Amino acid sequence: NELHHDNKDTKNSLSMIDQLCSVWLPVAPAGYVALGCVVSAGTAEPPLSAVFCLTASLISSCGLRDCIALR
């Protein structure tokens, strides 16, 4: 992540940094699949406990319509 800072208004820029969020795409170990992504406040890396992985043998692919009832 990269932050850009405007020197004209330091107070406002710093308060905007507090409002940032990050989206992390976990990389699962070999033989496992990470479930989803992790969104966290700020730019600090989330703890490993925020990620859940399943063994790949339990996973099968499906389309969005197979998972959600669309009317």
Instruction: Give per-residue pLDDT as tens, 13-28.
Output: 555 656 788 899 999 9
Residue 2 lies in a domain: no
Domain extent for 55:
7-67
Instruction: Decide which of 18 and 56 is more confident.
Output: 56
Phi/psi for 36 (5° steps) reads 75, -160
Residue 16 lies in a domain: yes
Residue 27 lies in a domain: yes
Residue 47 lies in a domain: yes
Please tell me what DSSP assigns to residue 51.
Answer: -
Q: How many domains does the chain have?
A: 1
Residue 1 lies in a domain: no
pLDDT of 55 reads: 96
